[in-house]
Structure 1
């Protein structure tokens, strides 16, 4: 699956260090220093209602991480999925009378356009779930053969040509914990009561009859009438949510990759469960660092598809808003914080962009009597991003420099482009 065009990232004299990044699993700042290549997996969209500012906030956070890695001299290998078959997508398609494939493709194309407009670095591997059905089915078979998956009766499943009704397959958490380097809660640090609450709210089925544990997640859904399904070695059907990312991440990045990223709403169950699936399949941890972006609210509520309180990047662009201003508005809040989008947030970003262009744009000239050293500004910018991608501090560094005469405004402009992704 194609991604979008890669923006040019300029090289700036000097270099960053490997960043310190908040690790959800340990609740501490840890060094996101690659052993070789910086390998990053960020969970992609389920393609409907793309691209709202919550999406953009997450992908911008890990775009910033990549830019720091690149400035530190690392090669980056970035993989991202597209969950282009899933219950919410199918429900939206049915509600709107649109074929689910057409809905997915149109929304993925809109997402690509928005990401390109925002200057987000694209993944090296952009993988649709529907393109790796066979690989996912093989992984489910491997788990079943290892005694880590079990069937649950599905009375509404279709009957195959041999007269056998399909069964759903579930991951056996208790069995996996005995053999894999993983325990449920390793990534989320939640107690069981909190897990059960979130599991029910985020696509899980704790009350499903026949499960060995209420928290056991679905690996494979047997074919049902009117639902998309694929004939595979595990039977006709389609994948569960978590196993998709496990298989794609292992396929593209291997085990023990540098950072697993996503929004904080994925911490549980998605990242806990996908880490468990991967550990059970490979015998190794999935990732070294688990990093999560905060949630963006609007009109007093978390911006979400279910509530419909979405601000879309494409909508702002259609109104004539400069994508660079959208990017600056998002960067003005720390990536891990939960915050609310307002008109004043955008107005401040538009004004900031104008100040920066006046100070560092193509028409800006070096001062005869400089007040600040451009090299010092660049180092301060690097220092801010080094500590957990502190973009509010980074923006304050540039704001201060914009208010003083500089000996090399073009160097500052290049650093803003390379590290903050804003081309003046």
Structure 2
């Protein structure tokens, strides 16, 4: 946030306009956003890490205050009730500084019953309907509100979240900067012969983050482990490091970065990594306002098929490889997704302004973004090539098996795979690559 808080003020003003619009569209007088509660562990007195309601988190970084609520009424200053119980067992964090600038009516409340009473009072004052957005369990007190997580309101709010404000982009930019610091440290740990656990520790140390503070569990995959798309084991065994695929990010005020890099000192596999960087940069260049993301995804398959041919892995033209399903054996996931308060952010598969942008099916069933890009969207571009045993075995039993140079495939299996992932913000006339901008700045800083 800027020193004069102007970006945050503008952000809250935008949210108020959006919520007024949403309440009018859905014929509501008010909406209550509930932070939620920590989940207890079965047969234990401990709890899982608390993850707040992202719709509440969008109003400001209230990441450590379960039980809090925000009450939004059309045309009024939103009322934030921050739950700050008196507790000698745990340290209760103070109300974040962002809320001290006067854009919300903020009250620290030590008694949960007082929060419920305040919500009931507001509900009683509303002549029309009131909605509740938040996680519900048998213990949740929705204070007599009967419109719980209504689909129409969530659809409108999710659509609004696809276009980030300047304050949100500031946070996403900062998250990329910190994430890249972690990636540079992880690269050095890999080059020093570190284990997966040691590489992950180097990443977290550089980001000054605990596991719970990371936006998602880091994927740190050495050698053939990179063939598992969401590999999570963090092996402690020390062995020759042929390659490293690391998919890890950082979060600032709840906004995530999601960055992947692949490294290897092997000349042949290193050349394939560099070719993937070039392919990925070309796809990023094509990410412009007005471009449908499905088209980028299909372009990625053609480009990857061409790269497979250049690497001697297939013996047919790119178009034939795509038609035969070969590219999907080596690149089985979608090209990317929206990014924001959630790593796979909302609104990516549906928009009222673009009815054809629906849930993907068939060959594109794993694609997480299907809509036309516009200014303010923040998304990932993450092509890859993998040597996944189960998919390769399936391919061996198909007619397309004759299009593969299996000796070349077997020679590269020990390296697992390659993925290169950047975070992009779409602008009015192009995009800003948040990830490569951070790498450029930090590489310059390190060499200075």
Report the TM-score when normalising by structure 1. 0.22
Bigger relative CO (Cα 8 Å, ≥ 6 apart): 1
Report the TM-score when normalising by structure 2. 0.21
